[in-house]
Amino acid sequence: MPIAPAVSVSLDLLRFALAVIVAIVHLTQRYFQNAWPDLTSVGIVAVGGFFVLSGYTIRSFSPSVAEFDARRFFIDRATRLLSVTLLALVATLALDTYSSTVAPAWYNHNWGAQADHPVLRIAANVLLLNQVWSLDVSPLSNSPFWSLCYEAGFYAIWGALLFCRRTGRTLLIPIAVALLYGPNVIVMLPFWLTGVLIHDRFVTPPSRRGAIVALLVSLMAALAIAASYKRMSPALNRGLDAIFLPIGCPHHVQATLIGGCLLFVCVLVALFAALALAGPRLHPGARLVAFARKLGDATFPLYLLHFPLLVAIGATRQGQPLSTAGKLIVLVVLIALAFAVVPLGHRLKNAMRALAKRDATTAPVRGVAGADDVIR
């Protein structure tokens, strides 16, 4: 079922906003400045939003069980992730080499512990296995890569589940895939699946009364989560300890990430309820749809490229903190570079898909046109 233009625009704007939030949050870290408060926890909340939105997006263009093609699904997912991931890893190697050469003391003090065994680190991130079980393998300074292992795990489990339903195979296959990625991914999977459920609930617009109830309940729930988070956080951490300590596996999942997922579930429900209430009165023009699509396409490059660029800028300045004006200029530069990388990512993705599919005819993708991945 084709998605409404108003929904498509909303999702594109939302995911771009989340990526900008992550970039701003990293700009506030003490590596780069000391005037603004460190907002790292806000960035983790934004990543929780990406996870929920990812479930919605993948479900929006997943074919019916009878039409599911496992080979096509996994080729599309892998090429979408790798098209920007490979570019970002190459850029990270180049930028970190520059940073460690220009400001070795500053770089080694902050990221030296993440620079050992670079070949193994890059390999783990190319394979998107950098967070399985107890691993926490950052590709040099580029710490935002941690979330990609979760995304890859969600896609693999979802694809395995649809494959089993399509072929009648045992559900032990998706369970085995989940166990491969480990408890960190498994703990976050329900929030990703909540995005799937939100899609299925709103694929047919609710009645006006139902939309009003959903809007009010979701807004009240969001306020309750925001107000009670400080009291809720210790309980969440104790719950995570109870899950992970008995199996001897460190938990990389944080209470802040879970809180972000819960908050964003409310935000997404409120958004779709509001869109349902607006109904046919919303008619975004073709230019707005195209503009929002461009913003959405820049999300993944912005998310994956901004941090090593920040490190390189910091190294050029020998670790001197940025001023407020400097931070704003850097943010504009980061966004501009993300837009510049988009065409290269598209070309690489199309080349990999053509190679993998041996130039087979590609059927039209359903759902959010051009939004076949959420972190982009």
pLDDT for res 170: 87
Distance CA 255, CA 146 (A): 16
Q: Which of 170, 173, 177, 132 is nearest to 155 (CA)?
A: 177
Q: Which of 67, 74, 271 is nearest to 154 (CA)?
A: 74
Query: How many CA atoms lie less than 13 Å away from 32 in the CB half-sphere?
Result: 27
Judge whether 51 and 146 are in contact, CB under 8 Å.
no
Angle made by CA atoms 122, 350, 185, in degrees to the nearest 5: 45
Q: Which of 303, 357, 325, 350 is nearest to 26 (CA)?
A: 303
Judge whether 63 and 205 are in contact, CB under 8 Å.
no
Domain regions of the chain by residue span: 5-357
Distance CA 181, CA 168 (A): 23
pLDDT for res 279: 79
Residue type, 293: R
Contacts of 148 (CB under 8 A, 6+ apart): 81, 85, 125, 128, 130, 375
Q: Which of 315, 316, 308 is nearest to 337 (CA)?
A: 308
Burial of 258 (0-12, 13-18, 19+ CB in 10 A): buried
In 3-state terms, what secondary structure has residue 170? coil
Distance CA 140, CA 297 (A): 25
Residue type, 376: R
Q: How many CB atoms within 10 Å of residue 34?
A: 12
Across the chain, which has 376 residues, the per-10-residue mean pLDDT values are 81 96 96 94 95 95 86 92 95 97 97 92 95 94 96 97 92 95 96 96 91 96 92 90 92 93 96 89 88 96 97 96 95 97 94 78 42 43
Which spans in the chain are helix H? Answer: 5-27, 40-61, 70-102, 104-111, 118-126, 146-167, 172-181, 183-202, 208-244, 255-278, 286-297, 299-316, 324-357
List Cα–Cα distances, 15 to 92, 106, 214, 349, in angstroms: 23, 33, 22, 20
Distance CA 190, CA 210 (A): 24
pLDDT for res 373: 47
List Cα–Cα distances, 314 to 51, 324, 362, in angstroms: 30, 14, 44
